[in-house]
Structure 1
Amino acid sequence: MISASFKRNELVLKELDLLREDANVYKLIGPVLVKQDLAEANANVRKRIEYISAELKRLDATVQDLEEKQNSKRDTILKLQQRIQSVQAGKGKA
C-alpha cells in the first residue's frame, strides 16, 4: 500500500514538472477542488515522497530485523530437536 502511494506521488510530481509556472493546479479536499499554487503543490508532493521513502526504509529495516530473529529462533529449535533426538537415541540403546 505504501509502495503504491509512493508511485502515485511520483507520477503526480512528474505531471507537475511538465506544467508551466502559470498553470492552474487544484487540490481535491473532500468533495471540493481548491486552487493551489504550483510551487506549493510541488513542495507538498516532494514532502510526501520524502516521508514515504523514510517509512519504506524504516519498514525494510524492521522486516530485516524480524527475519534475523526468525532465523536465530529456527537455529535454536533445530539444535534443541537434535539434542532431543540424541537423548532419545541414547535411551533406546540402554
Structure 2
Amino acid sequence: MCAAVIGGMDRLKRDYINAAKREGVKLKVFTGKENRIAPKLGSASLIILFTNQLSHAARRDVINHAKKNNIPVEQAHSCGVSSLRECLNRS
C-alpha cells in the first residue's frame, strides 16, 4: 500500500517514513509548505491529513482530489508519529 501524509513537521519526516515502513506502507510526506500538493500525490491509496499543520486551502485542495479519485482520507489534529500509526491501523 502507498499512502501520503499532508501536514506534519519537517523534523519528523524521517520518523513518519520509518513508522510507515514498519507497518508495510510506502509513504510520501508533504509537510504543507509545497505548492499544489494534489497533483503530486500520484497513486496513493490513502491520504492522511494532519490538520493542525495545514492551511485550509491546502486541505480543501487535497480533499477535493481525494473525492474525485475515490481515495480514503484519514484526518488527525495532532501530527505525532503515534497519530500516523493510529491512522494507518484504522485503514
TM-score range, shorter chain: under 0.3
Tell me which of the two structures has the higher relative contact order, counting C-alpha pairs closer than 8 angstroms and 6 or more residues apart. 2
Greater per-residue helix proportion: 1
- TM-score if structure 2 supplies the norm length? 0.21
- TM-score if structure 1 supplies the norm length? 0.20
Higher alpha-carbon Rg: 1
Greater per-residue strand proportion: 2
